[in-house]
Amino acid sequence: GTGAAVESADRHRRGVGETARRRDRGPRCAGGRRHRGGADRGRGDHAEPVVAVDLLDQRAGGGGPGAAHPMGAGRGRGTAVRLDLIGVALSAAGLFGVVAGLLLASPLAFAAGVLGLIAFVGWELRTPTPAFPIRLLRLPVFAMSNLAGLLMYAGLFGAIFLLLRYFQLTLGFSPLSTGLRVLPWTGLVILIAPVVGALSDRIDARRIITVGLALQAIGLAALTVAVVTAASYAWFLPGMVLCGAGMTAYIAPSGNLAMSAAPEQHRGPAAGALTTTRQLGLVLGIATLTVMSTTLSLSAALWTAVAVLVAATAAGALARDGRSVPLAMH
């Protein structure tokens, strides 16, 4: 029994010694000292996390814990981007005033909305983190792409709203029947989108955009003629097909063209600006054309929408090469 106890104690001593040697051969930490396992952790010396952070920084291309963040200054750990809440509030108040002034025929509300939008522009030019980077509009192709989007969404979607009302209130179609009858317009998006995507890889995006906007203008003119002449539903089909094809040809390439113009570090705000401009056009188009259809006539509102789409076509054609240029945002 004594011999077995001695042998067990000897194995224990050899095991402890081997463990100590393995610990001594462990990796060195950032300060050049070796890890000592639990003894270090007991004193609060967290060497292992330092090594892990060092390795991650080096693999990411950094120079260690104190190296600059690969995305540039101000984008390191713990850096938060402030939301432009004042800009959002000013834009919302301005748009609300303009739309309310149009719908309620209130000059006071409209003037208040315009003042709110002017204040919004002034604020966006001053704040370091604008919700809408107005300085990007100094890039010609980005500015013209936004203008074309504003006009296209105002003219086309304002006209769509009026035509849906015409189908229901004048022609007597139910909401479901109206939705089914505009499928030649909306359904073409599914069919033509893959073709447009393939063409955009081989043809200049500006040409596709210009053709798409022109098709929408021609199609809406055909729809307006059908409304003015009180034609049957069959006469609306050619205009719907042209509008659907043109809308599909415009939307995706226009976004790519605008983003190619923005400097890489500003493409996030640029995408938000493009979306905001389109939604602004949609809201203003529906509000303005609805007022025109009630105060003047439906045909006057639709012909105005056609003119807006013609202007959008011109803006799309005037967009120059989309290569980005250096731009100071502040």
* CA–CA distance, 43 with 45 (Å, rounded to integer): 6
Q: Is 254's pLDDT higher than 60?
A: yes
Whole-number pLDDT of residue 270: 81
The 3 state secondary structure assigned to 160-197 is HHHHHHHHHHHCCCCHHHHHHHCHHHHCHHHHHHHHHH
Mean predicted lDDT score pLDDT of the chain = 75
* CA–CA distance, 296 with 305 (Å, rounded to integer): 14
Whole-number pLDDT of residue 33: 46
Average pLDDT over residues 85-93: 87
Lowest-confidence pick of 79-93, 113-127, 238-252, 293-307? 79-93
Coil, helix or strand at residue 28: strand
Coil, helix or strand at residue 36: coil
Interacting residues of 303 by C-beta distance below 8 A, sequence separation 6+: 224
Q: Is 69's pLDDT higher than 50?
A: no
Cα distances (angstroms) measured from residue 316 to each of 35, 229, 279, 321: 65, 31, 18, 12
Confidence of residue 19 (pLDDT cuts 50, 70, 90): low
Q: Is 249's pLDDT higher than 80?
A: yes
Whole-number pLDDT of residue 185: 87
Coil, helix or strand at residue 44: coil
Cα distances (angstroms) measured from residue 236 to each of 95, 136, 196, 223: 33, 40, 24, 6
Whole-number pLDDT of residue 11: 52
* CA–CA distance, 64 with 78 (Å, rounded to integer): 16
Confidence of residue 35 (pLDDT cuts 50, 70, 90): very low
* CA–CA distance, 289 with 297 (Å, rounded to integer): 10
Q: Is 305's pLDDT higher than 90?
A: yes
Whole-number pLDDT of residue 74: 39
In terms of Cα–Cα distance, which of 281, 270, 253, 249 is closest to 324? Answer: 270
Lowest-confidence pick of 29-38, 92-101, 206-215, 315-324? 29-38
Q: What are phi and psi for residue 34, nearest 5 degrees?
A: -85, 150
Average pLDDT over residues 12-22: 51
* CA–CA distance, 259 with 267 (Å, rounded to integer): 6
Whole-number pLDDT of residue 36: 46
Q: Burial code of 281-293, b = ≥16 C-beta within 10 A, e = fewer?
A: bbbbbbbbbbbbb
pLDDT in tens, 109-153: 989 999 998 998 898 888 888 877 777 888 888 888 889 999 999
Q: Which of 1-10, 98-107, 197-206 has the highest mean pLDDT?
A: 98-107
Confidence of residue 186 (pLDDT cuts 50, 70, 90): confident
Cα distances (angstroms) measured from residue 203 to each of 148, 214, 249: 19, 17, 12
Q: Which of 24-28, 104-108, 221-225, 259-263 has the highest mean pLDDT?
A: 221-225
Of the two residues 311 and 39, the one the predictor is more confident about is: 311
H-type alpha helices, 262-297: 267-295
Cα distances (angstroms) measured from residue 33 to each of 26, 27, 42: 10, 9, 16
